[in-house]
Structure formats: structure tokens, C-alpha cells
Amino acid sequence: MTSVWITDAEIATSCGQGVDALWTHLISGAPGIDEVTRFGTECYITSYAACVPDLTPTPQGSLLYPLLEQVLPESLKVPDDAALITATTKAGIDSLQSWSRGRAGGMEDTLASTVLQWLQAELHLHGPATNINAACASSTIALARAANMIAHDAVDCVLVCCADLVSEFVFSGFSALQALSPEPCRPFDQDRHGLTLGEGAASLLLMSQARAEREGRSCLGQIVGWGAANDANHITAPARDGCGLVQAVERSLRVADAEPGDVSGISAHGTATVYNDLMELVAFRRVFGERRVPIHSVKGAIGHTLAAAGAIETALSLRMLDRREMPPTLGFEKPEEGAAGRVSKQAQSLESGLLLSTNSGFGGINGALLLAAGGRQ
């Protein structure tokens, strides 16, 4: 199969623009979680979320567009023949909120097709364009799809662009499901009480090795394996035995022609809900046995960014591979059973090898990516 390079990665989170900003927050133990001011939270479980600072609506209405603009700098230089794959669960849902309350706004922004059209126009793209919705595994599966297309020579360049907002719509829903943590979330901690919502965006440019070399692009890292699978168990809760995640990870290992022993670290979904984190620990133990593979969750710093989570975590994982270091998991203090010696509130060194990035979502879907450092051939 053709080698799949990631040549550019831009992210925007509550910790600022770029991987550098997020890395600095993680190393210094400064989460980007604060009280929401965008809408009233008096009737919800919590007032905490991780909002991207200084987003102001554009004439289009939704905050989604200024959020996306943060991950589309001119330096990105997206070729106009690039295929476009987006991942968003609710797109510009804030516009629908305004419309429903009788204010300005409309429903168009809620449709992913509108986001695709906007991106095509902004970037002058004329290749195929598709949005993938697989709940909180959306961008993981979008990256998997992009990698698969390049690996099989269907295309040689794909822009994967992902975003979701902190909105009253989503906030109220997770609150109604009793899934929000009253305090900033604590992934893999014994005393975790749910997730903290976040918003964020990411754009990752993927190319075949041949095209990237031809265009003189650098290699931030490679996607060498990918997999997705469904629990076939429950709509909103993960399977306790982690069956779908195990299947997704094993599939990614097969694609990479790798063994579990080749994996040196895991960027987990780590939402800090009781059942998600337990499920992941069970699944990782099924795949990796008793070997203490370092595990990281970024959600204690930037919240759960929904469809954008997988792409943001992939960008961060590339930095981990580059530095051979896993940053602290913020919010983590007392290890859940199975997390001791794997998750840490301190930075952990990484041995050379592959990094596994996983996400899971409503509808029982799980996605897994295997990433290699930039130098791997």
C-alpha cells in the first residue's frame, strides 16, 4: 500500500491555536476549562466547558465559521485538487438555536452540506467532498477513510477538516443524560463524574509519500493503520467488554502489519465518564495484556470536542511521537483500577514505536488509528 503522510496539522482548542499552545498548557498543567458565558447554565449539572476564546459570529451567523478559520491559515497551502473530508456532528447548530428562539439565524448552517460548500469556496477546492458523521469517532473515521483512499491510490491528497461547537443544544443534552461532570473532568480517575464539553477544530493535510516529496512537503507523521467497528450493544453506552474497540484496534494492527508489542503509547478517548474509561481500560488490557503501555487523555485540558476530538488528538499524538514524550493527563489524580502505571499526571517518556489513537461514540461506533513518527519508511 502507498505510504500515507500527514504533512500539516492545525488545531484550535480552548488552549489556543496550534499544537504548541496545547502542549504548553498540558506541560504546565493549565486546563482550558472555564465557566460558560455563552448561554445560561443554571438548570444544568455544571457550568463548566472548554470554549475557544474570542470567537465572534460572522455574517454567516454561526460560530462554526470563525472556528474553522482558525485552522485554515494561508500557510496550510491546500492543493485545489485535494479531496475534502469533514467531520462534524452538529455543524452550525447555534444558528438553529437562534432560529428556534425567534432570532436571526437559519437551518442551513445545521446541515453539513453547507459546511462542505463553505470550505470548498474558501479553499477553492474542486475535488470530491464528503462529511462523515460517526458521533464522537467522526474525525477518527474521517482520517481512516482518507488514509485508506491514499493507501489504495484512489487519491493522493486529502484535507480532513473537523469542528464542533459548545452549544446549548449539546450541553443541555449531555446534562439531561447525566453525562456531564459537575467539576472539570478527571479522565481515568477513581473520582471521575462525567465529561466536560469542549469545542475545537482541526485540519490535517494527508498526502501520498510520492506527492508530498514531489511538492517538498515535510512529514509530521504517518498513518500506518486504521480500523472501525461497532459494539452492537447499546446506543449511548459502551460495551463493558470493550468488544467494538478491541475489534477496531485489532483491525488497525492488521492494516499496519504490526503486533501489539509495536505500540508504545495510547492516546485514548478518555472522556471521564464512568463507563467509557472503564471500557477502554478493559479493551486495552485485552489487546496489550499486562504490559503497561502509557495512556493519555487530553480531555482534562480541552474537554470533549466531539467530532473534532480524534483529529485534535491525532495532531497532538504526532507531537508526542516527535518528542518521544507523553504529556500529563490533566485532572487525573487517583488511578482507576487498571490505570495505575499507565495514565499519569506527570509527563511520561515514550519508547520508539507506534502510537495508537482511539475514539468511541454514540451508536456504538469505535475508531482506531495507528500513527508512526515522521521518519518511518
Residues involved in catalysis: 136, 269, 304
CA angle 20, 22, 26 (to 5 degrees): 115
Please count the other Cβ atoms lying within 10 Å of the Cβ belonging to residue 377. Answer: 7
Nearer to other proteins, 269 or 319 (CB): 269
Per CB under 8 A, 116 contacts other proteins: yes
Minimum distance from CB of 335 to other proteins (Å)? 30
Site string for other proteins, 153-172 (x = CB under 8 A): -x-------------xx-xx
Quick check: helix, strand or coil at residue 289?
Answer: coil
Residue closest to 249 by CA, chosen among 94, 356, 175, 171:
356
Give the residue with the Cβ less far from other proteins, 169 or 275.
Answer: 169
Length of the chain: 377
178 burial via Cβ count (<10 Å: 0-12, 13-18, 19+):
exposed
- DSSP labels, 181-247: -SSS--TTBTT---B-EE-EEEEEEEEEHHHHHHTT---SEEEEEEEEEE--S-SSS--TT-HHHHH
**Which residues fall within 8 angstroms of residue 290, CB to CB, at 6 or more apart?**
none
- 247 near other proteins, rule: CB under 8 A: yes
Q: Which is nearer to other proteins, 128 or 375 (CB)?
A: 128
Is 101 a binding residue for other proteins by CB under 8 A? The answer is yes
When asked if residue 349 is in the footprint of other proteins (CB under 8 A), the reply is no
Q: Does 134 bind other proteins (CB under 8 A)?
A: yes
Q: Does 361 bind other proteins (CB under 8 A)?
A: yes
Q: Count Cβ atoms below 10 Å from residue 126 Cβ, excluding itself.
A: 11
Is 291 an interacting residue with respect to other proteins (CB under 8 A)? no
Residue 43 makes contact with other proteins by CB under 8 A = yes
362 scored as a contact of other proteins (CB under 8 A): yes
Supply angle C-alpha 112, 45, 357, rounded to 5.
50
Shortest distance, CB of residue 373 to other proteins, whole angstroms?
Answer: 25
Say whether residue 40 binds other proteins (CB under 8 A).
yes
Q: Which residues would be at the binding site for other proteins (CB under 8 A)?
A: 40, 42-44, 89-90, 93, 96-97, 99-101, 106-108, 110-113, 116-117, 120, 128-135, 138, 141, 145, 148-149, 152, 154, 168-169, 171-178, 227-236, 243-244, 247, 251, 361-365
